[in-house]
Amino acid sequence: MGVQNWTYILVGITFALYIGIAIWSRAGSTKEFYVAGGGVSPLANGMATAADWMSAASFISMAGIISFAGYDGSVYLMGWTGGYVLLALLLAPYLRKFGKFTVPDFIGDRYYSKTARFVGVICALLVSFTYVAGQMRGVGLVFSRFLEVDINTGVIIGMIIVLFYAVLGGMKGITYTQVAQYCVLIFAFMVPAIFISIQMTGNPIPQLGFGSTIADGSGTYLLDKLDGLSTDLGFAEYTEGSKSLVDVFAITLALMVGTAGLPHVIVRFFTVKRVKDARKSAGLALLLIVILYTAAPAVSVFARTNMIETVSNKPYNKMPEWFKKWETTGLISFTDKNNDGLVQYVANETKNELVVDRDIMVLANPEIAQLPNWVIALVAAGALAAALSTAAGLLLVISASVSHDLIKKMINPKISEKGELVAARLSAVVAVCVAGYFGINPPGFVAATVALAFGLAAASFFPAIILGIFYKKMNKEGAIAGMVVGILSMLFYMTKFKFGWFGGGTKTNWWFGISPEGFGTVAMMLNFIVSIVVMKFTKAPPKDVQDIVENIRIPSGAGEAVNH
């Protein structure tokens, strides 16, 4: 059976599963819509959090980035996994104890201000729309390649599926759908990785395979072979880094604190019954995430080695079927500059004839390795699960920010629960349409927006949440000033150096030698400094707010032994 038929079967089965779960677990109240009724088990929440957090960026892009950047790509591994640890230890339990539905809700109540809430809503919308645009585009690309439909049609199909279970089920529907999506995406990522690891090294564990010797009996280590292939083509050694230490530190920290400030991940910890469950589900999610994140470097090495050996200096008219099919998507292109009929893939840009989009590496990997058709189709189903799970979580953040934080808390406090639920669903519909528009008509910078989303979260939410939990004297004036300065400085730097606005800029003009991907670290520090300085010159928060901050840091049940 062909790849397309297998894809129809596997994608059809998984989509039917997601829709069935949404119908079974549809939300009947605002609490179910926003936080799944607050009764999700730690295991289910851990799996849902892992699926929510592992977006198309984790499933498709991360291994692709590492396969091209080599050692330098490790910043994404360190930043994203480190960020999750930070979130689990520093934020999740305390936010759960505070007991609010959304991040802007926490900011509005902790900083006792409608202005703070409004700034929080704007930041949540900026981060979420920036992130979701890339997810919808990823859905379109998977459909276009594996179901051989137009990319725009693929985006529309994805919109309909997400709309169905996000609008009908709310957080309750999304949670249980994400449990299924985690199972699909981790199976889809690991099966081809195991196959290729056995094929290339004889070791069935990919995490060990990419550090082993190759299976041809030569005794050569796989990484040494890839280093040799890379240098022969004029590229740097795969295992050597070229980024400065300052930039590596800045990017890693920006991704860490950006991850810890992502509103669609934070809201997951409001769905469990107790603070203890928030800690448990955070720990379980970390274990579940580690499976993919430790395998990603191996997948990167396998894909890069196979691609170079398959296409470099080979006749174009003898290219395998996978090459021709990916060419139709525009994500891989060949220009015969010297008219010799051979594919010249080299580091020299004037001589290089092959342009490969890094996002195809994970998706094309099973095809390059000539794995069975069902494995190739499984990867397509996994990529869709990763993109749709995160898109659904982000859309819920957008709808909750509009219906709960803007309408209920600011515009119309007397709105009924039924009215708020209708507003939440309508805002989810609008959000899906906007996300779909960006998927169909992506701005020229969609590839850059993943880093922008993390930078925006780092620059805006992280300091406000940390200071809100651990510094009871932090007041509304300081928090608002910090968030505004942080997010504006991040937006300015990214648009100047990524998109050429404000006179543009080049790598040689980077401030402190820090790339736009790493500037979230600087913007975050600015936020902290401005928040604390402004706080010193303005009035302290009311005593009841300071008491709340004291209370959320005391473990549940503390002092019980004394009372008995």
pLDDT in tens, 306-328: 999 888 888 888 888 888 888 88
Q: Is the pLDDT of residue 445 over 70?
A: no
Q: Is the pLDDT of residue 86 over 60?
A: yes
Assess if residue 559 is contained within a domain.
Answer: no
pLDDT at 531: 96
Q: Is the pLDDT of residue 105 over 50?
A: yes
Rounded to an integer, the average pLDDT of 201-222 is 89
Residue among 187, 157, 180 nearest 52 (CA):
180
Q: How confident is the model at residue 261 (pLDDT cuts 50, 70, 90)?
A: confident
Mean of all residue pLDDT scores within the chain? 83
Q: Is the pLDDT of residue 242 over 70?
A: yes
Q: Is the pLDDT of residue 83 over 50?
A: yes
Q: How confident is the model at residue 93 (pLDDT cuts 50, 70, 90)?
A: confident
Q: How confident is the model at residue 553 (pLDDT cuts 50, 70, 90)?
A: confident
Assess if residue 176 is contained within a domain.
Answer: yes
Assess if residue 563 is contained within a domain.
Answer: no
Q: Is the pLDDT of residue 28 over 70?
A: no
Residue among 208, 232, 265, 221 nearest 85 (CA):
265
Do 23 and 168 form a contact (C-beta atoms < 8 A)? Answer: yes
Q: What is the 3-state secondary structure (H, E, C) of 92-161?
A: HHHHHHHCCCCHHHHHHHHCCCHHHHHHHHHHHHHHHHHHHHHHHHHHHHHHHHHCCCCHHHHHHHHHHH
pLDDT at 31: 65
Q: Is the pLDDT of residue 462 over 70?
A: yes
Rounded CA separation 362/309 (Å): 16
Assess if residue 564 is contained within a domain.
Answer: no
Pure H helices in 25-73: 30-35, 42-53, 56, 62-69
Q: Is the pLDDT of residue 564 over 60?
A: no
Q: What is the dihedral of CA 58, 64, 65, 71, to 10 degrees?
A: 110
Q: Is the pLDDT of residue 268 over 90?
A: no
Rounded CA separation 185/389 (Å): 10
Bigger pLDDT: 359 or 443?
A: 359
Rounded to an integer, the average pLDDT of 541-546 is 90
Q: Among 175-189, 338-352, 443-457, name the one with the lowest average pLDDT.
A: 443-457
**Structure tokens given for 76:** 């994404």
Q: Is the pLDDT of residue 255 over 50?
A: yes
Q: Is the pLDDT of residue 39 over 80?
A: no
Provide the CA 89 distance to its chain's centre, in angstroms. 19
Rounded CA separation 60/64 (Å): 7
Concatenated DSSP letters for 215-257? TTSS--BHHHHHHHHHHHTTPPPTT---S-HHHHHHHHHHHHH
122 residue type, one letter? I
pTM of the model: 0.84
The vertex-62 CA angle with 162 and 321, nearest 5°, equals 85
Of the chain, the percentage scoring pLDDT greater than 90 comes to 17
Q: Is the pLDDT of residue 177 over 70?
A: yes
Range among 164-168, 243-247, 473-477 rated most confident: 473-477
Bigger pLDDT: 72 or 143?
A: 72
Q: How confident is the model at residue 563 (pLDDT cuts 50, 70, 90)?
A: very low
Q: How confident is the model at residue 562 (pLDDT cuts 50, 70, 90)?
A: very low
pLDDT in tens, 222-237: 999 999 988 888 888 8
Q: Is the pLDDT of residue 50 over 90?
A: no
Q: Is the pLDDT of residue 168 over 70?
A: no
Q: Is the pLDDT of residue 36 over 60?
A: no
Rounded to an integer, the average pLDDT of 303-307 is 91
Rounded CA separation 74/59 (Å): 15
The number of distinct structural domains making up the chain is: 1
Assess if residue 560 is contained within a domain.
Answer: no
The vertex-107 CA angle with 104 and 110, nearest 5°, equals 145
Assess if residue 562 is contained within a domain.
Answer: no
Q: How confident is the model at residue 561 (pLDDT cuts 50, 70, 90)?
A: very low
* CATH number of the domain that residue 82 is part of: 1.20.1730.10
Q: Among 147-156, 459-468, 541-550, name the one with the lowest average pLDDT.
A: 147-156
Name the residue range of residue 162's domain.
3-554
Q: How confident is the model at residue 304 (pLDDT cuts 50, 70, 90)?
A: very high
| Angular region, 234: left φ>0, alpha ψ -120 to 50, beta rest | left
Q: How confident is the model at residue 186 (pLDDT cuts 50, 70, 90)?
A: very high
Rounded to an integer, the average pLDDT of 159-183 is 77
Rounded to an integer, the average pLDDT of 21-33 is 69
The residues near 500 (Cβ < 8 Å, ≥ 6 apart) are none
Q: Is the pLDDT of residue 271 over 80?
A: no
Q: Is the pLDDT of residue 4 over 70?
A: yes
